[in-house]
Structure 1
Amino acid sequence: MKNQDYIELQQYPDHVDKGQVEGLLNEEGETKDEISLTETQLSIVLHRLGYNDFTYMNSNDIQNLPRSTKYMVNIIDKMSIDNAIEIIRNSLADHSQDVNFPKDEYNLLEKLLHSVPNNSEPAPIKIEEDTRPILNEKSYLNIVDWNLQVRLEATLIHYHSPYPEVRAITEPYDDPELLCETFRAYFIGFSWTFIGSIINTCFVHRIPNISLSSHTVQVLLLPCGKLWARYMPNKKIKLFSKTIHINPGPWTYKELMLSTIIYSCSSGVPYSMYNIFVMKLDKFYGLKWVTITFQIFLSISTQFLGFSFAMVMKKVCVYPSTSIWPSILPTIALNKALMDEEDVTHYMSRFKFFIIVAIFSFFYNWMPSYFFKALANFNWTTWFAPLSIHLVNVTGSSKGLGLNPWPTFDWNRIDAGGCLTLPFYSYVNRYLGSILGFLVILLVYYTNHYYSSYFPINSNYLFNNKAKVYDIHSILNEKNQFDDKKYQEVGPPYFSAANLVIYGAHFCLYPFSILYNFATEWNSMKSSFVSVWISLTDAFKSSSNRFGRYSDDPHCKMMSKYDEVPDWWFLTILVVSTSFAIATVIFYDVETPLWGIFLVIFINFIFLIPLTSIASVTGFSFGLNVLIELIVGYLIPNSGLALITLKAFGYNIDSQASNYITDQKLAHYTHLPPKAVFKGQIISTLINIAVALIITNWLLDSKIPDLCQQNQKYNLECPGANTYFYSSIQYGEIGPAKVFKLYPIFKWCFLLGAILVIPCALFKKYGPKKLTTSFQPTIIIGGFLDFAPYNLSYFTGGLYMSYLFMYKLKNNYLHLWERYNYILSSGLTVGVATSSLIIFFMNPPTLHWWGNNVSYQGIEGGKFSDVWKNATSAPDGYIGLRKGDFP
């Protein structure tokens, strides 16, 4: 096949003549030597495109360039000055308030536009030979050849992307004949969905949890595809009216990306599994009527309702070039790195590097997980005085806040915050928030604010007025319904100091994040609301131009070759999933009125625009779980079951919508057929639900000792399920009205979040550039949430790794970082997940020696009390409000 990706007409609309470009191709589809650029001009172009090895190349050597570079050189060579000026003028208007558009490049565009000569076709500025050394990393910011540079910048923007991080990982052309939607891509993707769902569901209740991330599986998909292409027979199978080609040829870039998307859609455990755990386990509600039919209805409805919402969000978060989705860029970068077939003899291959790292990680993980557990929980600071409550409170890894300069040698703990995935500035902002949260928690605890000194400092449990874990059954009647008479005897539950700070931060985060993004990115938010309205109106029209005002975007042009997912597919999912949701609340005793389902659907639709818009531009996302708790707690008082039922819908609808939109953007950048992605996601989600239900019920029925208890043998302490359960008590059975009477400071947290917007927005706009560029106050507030039951020990080690790899290595050895960073992270994670799975199912005998016992001595091991003050010494033998004054 000839290189049609160079001669497709839609790649050269308006500004470039197709015939001219075709004239640059020989019979093999390769570029001829017929370009008018001089050697010096070609050097300038190549430096701008990031190929510094070709500084002094001759135009005859253009065949040594990568395809995408030759493609861009051809367009630059043939673009007219008038069209280039028009592109730059429009770009300056479009990106004037764009936080992601590089300021230096924006200033360059302004200089180019202000330097337009009087005549429309000026002669290029001559560059003397001795000026060539100026071609360094930032030399393109200087105008040395206006004629060339105005065409160069216009081409980058209009034919690739305005954003350098997107240009670095995507291609400016597409080959629609490249294999994508093949049987093997689906089969391999679904197989890893099955395997990943087993591992992720088994260990989601572990602290820290172990999971097969999409990046990890992405690396494993490569050898699977390569081995399939090499050894599977080249046969065709007839199935009904379809012909399935078992092995159609070499494993391709698009097949790898499609399989990755199939897995990533279901890489997380369905949120409804927390409902099932909390409802069935005797430690929690212990309900016997939670049948498999109910579980299927709940899981399918919560997982699929969000898919239907994505129909109206394509013009908001998929088609616009401004919606870059920073969180997905590493996935595309890794895909490109894995499929890069260049012959680089002086570097180790990525796959060989991955194998070495994974094997090392597999064997090493036996040390902190089995032979020498003190390496995982390296709370050495408490070994000097294991019975000192104050030392444990500050530095303890199990019971305290984890202030420790080197808290672990376990990769699973080090990577708890995504240290090799998140940008360094993002990790630092989050860690700064965690440090501030640490200080506030200490202040709350040691001032005995709201009786917090009588409880463990860093617990996600609730406590009664005798400082014992709150027993939900003590305030319920025989029908598991709230009994006010019993409640008036037992009293309200109380928060630990860390839990107080976490909920306060949640209440502060909701108004702050929305208002702050409106204040700093108003144009982007306004455009999003307009786009949603256009999408809703277009859904009921037959329009030939599905991209609307984004039809000039280069990636939209390339995607126009593929059929879009019909709206009726989304509407069918909406009807079916809504029907399942209605059946869940009508036929089962979840104490939830029918209108509650439609209420949470409406709330999610209202918040869908700001949440997805924020995530698409900034990469930061958060859920509506706490907000839903408050609303449901007020509207349906004294029902923990109603709260967790509607909470599952309220959190997961927007979460799943965001997942689908994110994957559609991945497909948009990598030019995959939208229908293929849609089918893969639907089937993958169904597989994930089936496996998760089987594993969850197996865990509940297998009588694992001390499941969801502290200091459980396999660390299955269920941090998520415990938080889920106790929030159902506090905001469901007890109700937010009583909570706010007990903790009136929570009401002021909403106001605090709104007020903080003013100084943060002003600082972002007028503060020193060195600080404001990396200043992300929303992420800082998010750092307050990294406690109870987690603490600083899960993020400190990651800070060092983030500094080394995401800052030092990335800035000083970019090529090495691009080649190996994500491979390193994936290899380490695969080794940990594999060895942990073997240890879990082998269940070897416990080794009792100093290296396994030292971290769990004294208070840290749960053998002595982890509270400072004794509640029995309080007046009347209990703390808090007096009987008769309970809210």
Structure 2
Amino acid sequence: MGVQEITDSPPSSLTDLTEKKAAKAEVHETTADEAVFEHLENELAQYGVTEEQYEEVKRLADSYSLEDARKRIINVIKIHEHDPNFQHTLIDKFKTFLNDPAITDHPEDHEVFIKEVKIEVALITYNSPYPQVRAVVANEDDPDMPSSTVRAWAIGLTFAVLLAFVNQLFSIRQPAIMIGANIVQILAYPLGRFAARILPDWGVTVSGSRISLNPGPFSKKEHMLITIMASVGGAVPFTTLIIWTQYLPQFFNQKYAGNFAYQILIGLGTNFIGYGLAGVCRRFLVYPSYCVWPTSLVTIALNTAFHSTKPVRHRGPFGKLVTLSRLRFFFLAFACMFVYFWLPNVLFVAMSIFNWMSWIAPNNVHLNSVVGFNNGLGLNPLPTFDWNNIVHMGADPLMLPFFTTFNKFAGSFFSLFIILGLWYSNAFNTSYLPLNSNRVFDHFGKLYNVSHAIDGQGMFSPTKYEAYSPAFLSAGNINIYIFSFAIYTATLAYAVLYQWNEIKLGFLEFFNSFRPSRARDMSRYEDIHNRLMRSYKEVPEWWFATVLLLAIVCGIAGVAFWPTHTSPGVVFYGIAMCVIFIVPIGVIRAMTGIEVGLGILAEFIGGSLVPGNQLAMNYMKAYGMVTASHALSFTNDLKLAHYVKIPPRQTFAVQMTATLVSTFVCTAVLNFQMNNIPGVCTMDAPNRFTCPWVNSFFTASVLWGTIGPRKIFGLAGQYSMLLLGFPLGLLIAVGFWAVKRRFPQWSWLRQVHPVVLLSGAIHWAPYNLSYIWPAVPFAYLSWQYFKPRWPGLWSEYNFVLSSALSSGIAVAGLVIFFAIQWPGVQLLWWGNTVSYQGCESKLDPCRLKYLDKGDYFGPRIGDFH
């Protein structure tokens, strides 16, 4: 929306106009002041700025000449033309400004339009180019505000320990309950205020700086530093998956994996290697303004809610003026969700798994294969009333842009028909297996018993394998592999076709960092946050390099000092793969909130390099996929600190410390789980500790490590056709790019993201459409309905609401677990059992075809090798 000139008398302040509006409301009079009020209010809400900031933007715009505006617009279009987060109508307006000669030749005839364009350009320079960022991130800084204080460290480390304990404990639950940074923000605020009130101002002076127990009021920078520390500490080490599959008897039964020193070394190795690459990624994923990092905005919104003192006045539905503060709104929404969560998760479980269409005929295979929540494809218009199901795996529709949520749903929806086609055609013998399972099966349709294909050292045994069975995948799992192959080529192609200029800029800045005369040159990143961060010393590159080297040493020691039968070279192979992909997948996550995991690619390469050795393949996966994932997670925290203006060296220190503490805590909890939970990681496990991701990890271990990709995907492999996914991904990315170039006037094509589409296509087994579709209506209401109609209201409350609902779930989940589930309390009635009847049974999913007694499907014994 452009800026319209106000021809009335100059408006007074927004506060004065609000008071006049309230006075007139009693007699329902419409005045010129009201019109000015509503106009000014709409302008401020549209741009996501305060009244004072708006005046600054107008003054900056007035200082631009036509040539200044042209130069800045050319740079904006170069960076944001294909940016789905950037307003496409603004791009069109900028292009009109550049391409219409009448504007330059006769500016006096286009004064209003030119003024609008200049204000838009000034706003991008003065603040962030994105309204959602401007809504929650301040464009000012106080360098003297305390951040790395004694009380911040004490509170932050305490929460890092607590989150590491709880998240590791619940990581094997389906669905998992993870406590995120928002919970820490809620609890840290009163603790910080309490510490500021009671602690004495005792301190010492070190190198000219005074370190005090109480440096003054609890600041938002301290608050965010605590949040970052807890966020890092709450991350569960990936190596726990390796330990689970090694140690448990139903998997590989390698008891040396219970050694604490072994667990710590490989945990430290994988956890810290990501920091080395995070240092490099700053130039690509932190400094550029187009790297929005949608997930970080929710965290900042809550931080702002606690520390903001400005009065709230926003126009809402029915013309009502809303004055509720963000903090009060947060606690109201939090309390509502805390109370409500008990209903679908304890009292009436059918509300969580609302497979009402299956109740019509629980044993009808055809009906349940399509609409089933537990074992089907989840094609159900109303599948759940549980917000935890809707936002699982971070897919919060209030947090992620609408185009992300809808693209993901579209990819899932279209791939549904591929799964059905595979199953009903019995392609790859899928009709004899459950439709959407993430398990591996043998030719009897039973779970694959890997002990029948390995020797005493856990290595592949050709003789035993040929006497047993090939491995078979469900239709849902086959679909995952097809589109997982596709997403890697699509990601690289997308990076080259859409983000090449930005990637080149990042490399230039990285190389300049080694040249003292041009180090820390961020002049090309012109948004306000980079200019403000120049006040602080950056972390030297050698700090990150040292961490990387020490992590590699830990990784090599873990591999070499125990009977893993694995070369330490897998550490370096994994890092090399990560270096190739880290920037492309990082840009996609920073812009869309969707992360492209490198797991299957690491499995493919690792299984080819070390066939028959599942552990070597898993290490390749850990140091390839996990290094990238951790690097992006740490980079996200760097962006949080960047937005809130925390000195980079302080951020580095808390990340290092919290990661070290968290690794030890998670490893201790892992040992408790392995030795104290009966039947853990089986379908009989109590309290839903069925380990869905551990089972998926074991599936991959059997396929890619024990049997190996050559037997499965090689020339004679039964799944070799799935490799067509690689060229398919390239075709999809290039195809969308070509269509966008051919039809640039189709603005809706800017909202189509091929990589996010493919990410939806792989969101199966054990999950399905019932976990994806419910987010779409909420995303539409938030981003497409409320945001354009009541932008001020949306900016004030949207991200706070997201944080409040997730926080309510996490706290309620903890209370429910320790008060109800852990003691073994069960509420057995129809509403808690109806969701698991017939084909929706957890233990016996229906199949399309069944074998005769003693028969088996697939290649005959002796015909596979």
TM-score range, shorter chain: 0.7 to 0.9
Counting only pairs closer than 5 Å after superposition, residues 459-608 of structure 1 correspond to structure 2 as: 459-519=437-497, 521=498, 524-529=499-504, 531-532=506-507, 534-536=509-511, 538-539=513-514, 541-543=515-517, 545-550=519-524, 553-608=527-582
1:668 matched residue in structure 2:
642
CA distance in 2 between counterparts of 1:787 and 1:468 reads 20
Instruction: Provide the secondary structure at the position in 1 that maps to 2:687.
Output: coil
CA distance in 2 between counterparts of 1:708 and 1:517 reads 39
Offset, 1:851:
1.9
Residues 692-721 of structure 1: per-residue CA shift (max 9 Å, x gap): 11221111110x233212264311111111
CA distance in 2 between counterparts of 1:76 and 1:354 reads 33
Q: Does 1:400 align with 2:376?
A: yes
1:280 matched residue in structure 2:
247
Residues 340, 590 of structure 1: CA spacing in aligned structure 2 closer, same or farther, 3 A cutoff?
same
8 Å contact kept, 2:436–2:476: yes
Offset, 1:679:
1.0
CA distance in 1 between counterparts of 2:60 and 2:176 reads 55
Instruction: Provide the secondary structure at the position in 2 that maps to 1:732.
Output: helix
CA distance in 1 between counterparts of 2:704 and 2:283 reads 37
CA distance in 2 between counterparts of 1:421 and 1:551 reads 25
Residues 268, 437 of structure 1: CA spacing in aligned structure 2 closer, same or farther, 3 A cutoff?
farther
Matched letter for residue 475 of structure 1: A
Gaps of 5+ in 2: 15-20, 22-32, 314-321
Offset, 1:605:
1.3
1:635 matched residue in structure 2:
609
- Superposition CA RMSD, Å: 3.3
1:92 matched residue in structure 2:
74
8 Å contact kept, 2:152–2:222: yes
Offset, 1:234:
3.4
Residues 403-462 of structure 1: per-residue CA shift (max 9 Å, x gap): 222222222113223222222221111111111122211111011011000011111111
1:233 matched residue in structure 2:
199
2:303 matched residue in structure 1:
335
Residues 315-336 of structure 1: per-residue CA shift (max 9 Å, x gap): 2222233433344334334433
2:700 matched residue in structure 1:
727
8 Å contact kept, 1:81–1:150: no
What percent of counterpart residues are identical?
32
Residues 882, 362 of structure 1: CA spacing in aligned structure 2 closer, same or farther, 3 A cutoff?
same
Residues 471-529 of structure 1: per-residue CA shift (max 9 Å, x gap): 0111111222211100000121100111011111101111122213422x1xx324414
**Which of 834-843 and 772-781 deviates more?**
834-843
**Which of 853-862 and 340-349 deviates more?**
340-349
Q: 2:407 aligns with which of 419, 429, 439?
A: 429
Q: Does 1:870 align with 2:859?
A: no
8 Å contact kept, 1:707–1:716: yes
Instruction: Provide the secondary structure at the position in 2 that maps to 1:872.
Output: coil
CA distance in 2 between counterparts of 1:863 and 1:276 reads 25
Residues 815, 87 of structure 1: CA spacing in aligned structure 2 closer, same or farther, 3 A cutoff?
closer
1:297 matched residue in structure 2:
265
Q: 1:73 aligns with which of 55, 77, 88?
A: 55
Offset, 1:117:
6.7
Q: Does 1:191 align with 2:166?
A: no
Q: Does 1:749 align with 2:749?
A: no
Matched letter for residue 827 of structure 1: A
Residues 543, 584 of structure 1: CA spacing in aligned structure 2 closer, same or farther, 3 A cutoff?
farther
8 Å contact kept, 1:81–1:151: no
Instruction: Provide the secondary structure at the position in 2 that maps to 1:606.
Output: helix
**Which of 645-654 and 97-106 deviates more?**
97-106
Residues 835-885 of structure 1: per-residue CA shift (max 9 Å, x gap): 322332342422222222222223323465522211236xx7110011122
1:384 matched residue in structure 2:
360
2:339 matched residue in structure 1:
363
CA distance in 2 between counterparts of 1:517 and 1:45 reads 46
Matched letter for residue 299 of structure 2: T
Residues 299, 543 of structure 1: CA spacing in aligned structure 2 closer, same or farther, 3 A cutoff?
farther
Offset, 1:782:
1.1
Offset, 1:369:
2.3
Counting only pairs closer than 5 Å after superposition, residues 691-706 of structure 1 correspond to structure 2 as: 691-702=665-676, 704-706=677-679
Q: 2:330 aligns with which of 354, 359, 380?
A: 354
CA distance in 2 between counterparts of 1:824 and 1:595 reads 47
Relative to the length of structure 1, the TM-score reads: 0.85
Counting only pairs closer than 5 Å after superposition, residues 623-662 of structure 1 correspond to structure 2 as: 623-662=597-636
Q: 1:167 aligns with which of 134, 139, 149?
A: 134
Instruction: Provide the secondary structure at the position in 2 that maps to 1:265.
Output: helix
8 Å contact kept, 1:711–1:861: no
8 Å contact kept, 2:454–2:460: yes
Counting only pairs closer than 5 Å after superposition, residues 738-887 of structure 1 correspond to structure 2 as: 738-740=711-713, 741-767=717-743, 769-842=746-819, 843-862=823-842, 864=844, 866-872=846-852, 877-887=855-865
Q: Does 1:622 align with 2:599?
A: no
Matched letter for residue 251 of structure 1: F
Offset, 1:71:
5.3
Offset, 1:558:
1.5
CA distance in 2 between counterparts of 1:54 and 1:314 reads 47
1:13 matched residue in structure 2:
none
Matched letter for residue 199 of structure 2: P
CA distance in 1 between counterparts of 2:168 and 2:863 reads 44
Matched letter for residue 719 of structure 1: P
Residues 788, 72 of structure 1: CA spacing in aligned structure 2 closer, same or farther, 3 A cutoff?
same
1:257 matched residue in structure 2:
224
Residues 82, 795 of structure 1: CA spacing in aligned structure 2 closer, same or farther, 3 A cutoff?
closer
Matched letter for residue 787 of structure 1: W
8 Å contact kept, 1:325–1:617: yes
8 Å contact kept, 2:380–2:770: yes
Offset, 1:598:
1.2
Residues 543, 325 of structure 1: CA spacing in aligned structure 2 closer, same or farther, 3 A cutoff?
farther
Residues 565-618 of structure 1: per-residue CA shift (max 9 Å, x gap): 122211210121111111111112222212221111112112223222333344
8 Å contact kept, 2:375–2:845: no
8 Å contact kept, 2:49–2:134: no
Residues 322, 385 of structure 1: CA spacing in aligned structure 2 closer, same or farther, 3 A cutoff?
closer
CA distance in 2 between counterparts of 1:494 and 1:223 reads 54
CA distance in 2 between counterparts of 1:564 and 1:819 reads 32
Offset, 1:43:
6.1
8 Å contact kept, 1:84–1:154: no
Residues 812, 354 of structure 1: CA spacing in aligned structure 2 closer, same or farther, 3 A cutoff?
same
2:710 matched residue in structure 1:
737
CA distance in 1 between counterparts of 2:503 and 2:463 reads 51
Offset, 1:371:
2.6
Offset, 1:464:
0.5
1:132 matched residue in structure 2:
none
CA distance in 1 between counterparts of 2:345 and 2:356 reads 17
8 Å contact kept, 2:146–2:222: yes
Number of matched residues?
Answer: 817
CA distance in 1 between counterparts of 2:767 and 2:75 reads 46
8 Å contact kept, 1:84–1:150: no
**Which of 634-643 and 558-567 deviates more?**
558-567
Matched letter for residue 858 of structure 1: G
Gaps of 5+ in 1: 1-36, 47-51, 126-141
